[in-house]
Amino acid sequence: MFMAVSIVCDSYFLPSLEIISESLGLSQDVAGATFMAAGSSAPELVTAFLGVFVTKGDIGVSTILGSAIYNLLGICAACGLLSSMASRLSCWPLFRDCLAYTVSAAAVLAMIFDNRIYWYEGAFLLLIYGCYILVLCFDIQINQYIMKKFSPCCTCFANSVEENAEQQPLTGWKEESQPLIRRQSRTDSGIFQDESDYSQLSISLHGLDIPEDPSSVFTMPEADMKRILWVLSLPIIILLYLTIPDCRRQFWKNWFMVTFFMSAAWISAFTYVLVWMVTIVGETLGIPETVMGLTLLAAGTSIPDTVASVLVARKGKGDMALSNIVGSNVFDMLCLGVPWFIKTAFVDRSAPVEVNSGGLTYTAISLICSIVFIFLAVHLNGWKLDKKLGAVCLVMYLAFATLSILYELGIIGNNHVKVCDDSF
C-alpha cells in the first residue's frame, strides 16, 4: 500500500496538479495549499464522515487532530531528512498558512471545549475555510502589500523582496533596450500563459517536469533493486494504467481534471486499506481507540501528504511542500466542519454532535504550540528546509506525541480513561 500511494502520487497526482496550476496560473505555494492539500487529504474527509455518521465516536476528530500534529512536525521532518538538497523557503506563504491554521485550530478548541458541536459551529469552520480560499485568490496583491509594508522592519520580508527582484526576469519582467515594464497579470504567480519571448522556455516554478512523451510504465528499470520493486508493484501499475488517464501524454493532456479526481479516489482507496491493516494491528496489540487515532491512524491517513510533500521537496520546492503540509491541515478543519454541519443542520436538528474526549483539548492546544514552534524553527534556521530542521522537527513530534498519549491514557493530567463494560 505504501508503494501504491507512492506510484499514484508520482505518476498521476502530481503531474495533474502541475497542469491544473499552469491552467489557473497558480504559484507553487497556492497550488500546494489548495489542490494538492485537498487531493492528498481526501482520506481525512472519509475518516471524518465515518466518525460522525457510522461509528459515532471520536476517532474522526482524534485522527484529524492527531494527523495535524504529524503533518506539521512529522512530514516536515521527513521532507528535511529525506531530501538530498536544502530548499529555500519564502516568508509570506508560511506566515499566511500558519496564521490560517492557528485561527482554525483555535476555533476547533473553542468548539470541543463543551463536548458538543452545534450547526452554527460547523458553519463557522466552513466560513473560515472560505475566507482562506478568498485570501489565496488575492494572494499576489496581498503578498505585494505585505512585502512593501513590513520589509523595512522585518529582515525575512526584506530578503523575500530581494529574492523576488532577482527572479523577476523569469516571472513577468521583460528586459529590452527600454526600461523594465511590469505587466500585471495572473502570470505574476510564475506560470507562463501568454505568448512572449520567455514563455517558450521549459521553465516552471513547480519543478515537476512533465515530458511530452514519458517512458512507458511497463519499461523495466536497469538497477537490480528497482527491478525487484517494479515486479512487486506491477499489478498496481497495470491497475492504475487501465483506470487513470495519464495526463503526461499528449493524447490525455486535456483530461487532467479526470486524472486529478481519479488519482485522489485511488489515494483514498489505498489509504483505507492501509488504515484497515493498521487498525487490525492496533486491535491485536490492545491499543485504545483514541491513542490509535493520535498515532497509527494519524500517520496512516497522512501517508499521501507525506509522499507528495517529500517528492516535491526532493525537487527543491520547499514552499510547495510546506504549503501542502499546513494547507492540508486547514483543509482538515473543513473535513470536521462538513460532517458536523450536515449532521446538525439536515440529518438530526434536535441534538448536537457529541465529542467525548477531554484529551482532544490538550491535543488542540499542542497544535497551536506546534504551529508557533515550526514557524520559529524555520526562521531560526535561516528559512531553509534541510536535514537540521528535519531532525529538530522529528524530536519535537516525538515529544508532542508522547505527551498526548500519556494525557489520553490518564497517566498525566486529570483525563480519566473510560473502559467499556464487557457485556457490550
Cell of 328: 492540508
Are the beta carbons of 158 and 139 closer than 8 angstroms? no
Identity (one letter) of the amino acid at 254? N
Local confidence pLDDT in tens for the 424 residues of the chain: 878 888 888 888 888 888 888 888 777 778 878 888 877 777 777 767 777 776 666 555 666 666 777 878 888 999 999 888 888 888 888 888 888 888 888 888 788 777 788 888 888 888 888 888 888 888 888 888 887 877 665 666 555 545 544 433 333 333 333 333 333 333 333 333 333 332 332 333 334 444 456 667 777 877 778 788 888 888 999 999 999 998 888 888 888 899 988 998 898 888 778 778 877 887 888 877 667 766 777 777 777 888 888 888 888 888 888 888 888 888 877 777 888 888 888 887 777 887 765 556 666 677 778 888 888 999 899 888 999 999 999 998 888 878 777 876 777 766 555 544 444 4
Sequence-ordered strand ranges (E) for 6-121? 87-88, 116-117
Long-range CB contact pairs, 5-8, < 8 A, 24+: 5/267, 5/270, 5/271, 5/274, 5/303, 5/304, 5/307, 6/307, 7/233, 7/236, 7/237, 7/240, 8/240, 8/244, 8/263, 8/266, 8/267, 8/270
Answer whether residue 337 is part of any domain: yes
> Which uninterrupted H or E stretch holds 317?
none
Answer whether residue 46 is part of any domain: yes
Report CA-CA distances (Å) from 257 to 35, 39, 41, 217.
11, 12, 17, 21
Q: How many domains does the chain have?
A: 1
Answer whether residue 289 is part of any domain: yes
Answer whether residue 142 is part of any domain: yes
Report CA-CA distances (Å) from 240 to 9, 178, 215, 266.
11, 52, 15, 8
Q: How far apart are CA 85 and CA 313, in angstroms?
A: 8
Three-state helix/strand/coil letters over 137-181: HCHHHHHHHHHHHHCCCCHHHHHHHHHHHHHHHHCCEECCCCCCE
In this structure, what DSSP letter does residue 85 have?
Answer: S
How many CB atoms are closer than 10 A to CB 86? 17
Are the beta carbons of 312 and 14 closer than 8 angstroms? yes
Answer whether residue 308 is part of any domain: yes
> Which uninterrupted H or E stretch holds 344?
none
Answer whether residue 281 is part of any domain: yes
Are the beta carbons of 371 and 102 closer than 8 angstroms? yes
Answer whether residue 306 is part of any domain: yes
> Which uninterrupted H or E stretch holds 115?
none
Does pTM surpass 0.85? no
Domain of residue 288 covers 41-147+277-409
> Which phi and psi angles does 361 have, rounded to 5°?
-65, -45
Helix/strand/coil percentages in the chain, nearest 5: 70, 5, 25
Q: What CATH number corresponds to the domain at position 318?
A: 1.20.1420.30
Answer whether residue 223 is part of any domain: no
Report CA-CA distances (Å) from 398 to 70, 310, 338, 388, 401.
9, 19, 30, 16, 5
